[in-house]
């Protein structure tokens, strides 16, 4: 049941992220059905278009961050991952600075870095700068995610998940993301390091390509 429970928690997390834009689409359709005022209908169409775009961005992000994405050893272009991340963070308070060269890396590395980026954005709820830096060499891929903003903070339950200290039976839809991200890093033979500075939360992980 261990794997099934993890899958259920991840589904819960993805559904939680999608509820808001899908509900907004539903509200917009209700306005269109009942409203005769052209200006209100235009506003409803604008709401629907925005919400559909938001839902699409969240689905594409979830597909890369949480999905299996093909066979073992499959690679994903860093440019593609950057575009997905840019769309995902476009409407949030965290402003993304994606720093990556051209090229592809193993899909599991992409999953780790996107999940860390998401947690980085969550650590600056008042907004700020989210810098995702990927430095691949012939042997390793170094990933650094830096979140800088007012009152930047990483909650203790998220830290515990990243350290795999959370008892499995206590995992929730909130803490399953750091827990699974840490499991992915462990699978790749690495650990995620978290450090703090003035108004800053930083995540570092270096992955040996031979284990990816």
The rounded distance, in Å, linking the Cα atoms of 177 and 162 is 9
Domain around 132: 2-211
Query: Tokens in use for 122?
Result: 């969550």
Whole-Å CA distances, 139 to 105, 110, 114 = 12, 16, 21
- pLDDT per residue as tens digits for the range 21-75: 999 999 889 888 887 888 888 888 999 999 999 999 999 999 999 876 555 568 9
Q: Which pLDDT score is estimated for 194?
A: 97
Instruction: Return phi, psi of residue 205, to 5°.
Output: -150, 135
pLDDT tens track for 94-117: 999 999 999 999 999 999 999 999
* Confidence class for position 3, pLDDT limits 50, 70, 90: low
Task: Report the C-alpha gap between 89 and 154 in whole angstroms.
Answer: 19
Average pLDDT over the chain reads: 91
**CATH number, position 127:** 3.30.565.10
Q: Is the pTM of this model over 0.85?
A: yes
**Residue 115: DSSP 8-state:** H
Q: How many CB atoms lie within 10 A of CB 11?
A: 13
Work out the pLDDT band at 1, boundaries 50, 70, 90.
very low
The domain tally of the chain equals: 1
């Amino acid at each position: 049941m261990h794997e099934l429970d993890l899958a259920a928690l991840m589904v819960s997390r993805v559904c939680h992220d999608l509820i808001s834009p899908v509900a907004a689409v539903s509200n917009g359709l209700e306005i269109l059905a009942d409203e005769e005022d052209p200006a209100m209908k235009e506003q409803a169409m604008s709401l629907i278009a925005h919400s559909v775009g938001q839902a699409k961005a969240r689905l594409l992000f979830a597909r890369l961050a949480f999905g299996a994405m093909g066979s073992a050893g499959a690679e994903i272009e860093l440019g593609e991952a950057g575009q997905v991340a840019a769309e995902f963070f476009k409407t949030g308070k965290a402003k993304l600075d994606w720093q990556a060269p051209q090229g592809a890396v193993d899909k599991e590395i992409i999953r780790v870095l996107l999940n860390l980026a998401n947690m980085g954005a969550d650590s600056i709820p008042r907004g700020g700068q989210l810098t995702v830096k990927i430095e691949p060499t012939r042997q390793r891929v170094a990933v650094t995610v830096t979140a800088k903003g007012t009152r930047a903070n990483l909650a203790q339950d998220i830290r515990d998940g990243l350290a795999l200290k959370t008892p499995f039976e206590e995992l929730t839809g909130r803490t399953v993301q750091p827990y699974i991200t840490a499991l992915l890093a462990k699978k790749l033979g690495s650990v995620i390091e978290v450090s703090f500075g003035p108004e800053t939360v930083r995540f570092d992980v270096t992955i040996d390509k031979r284990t990816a």
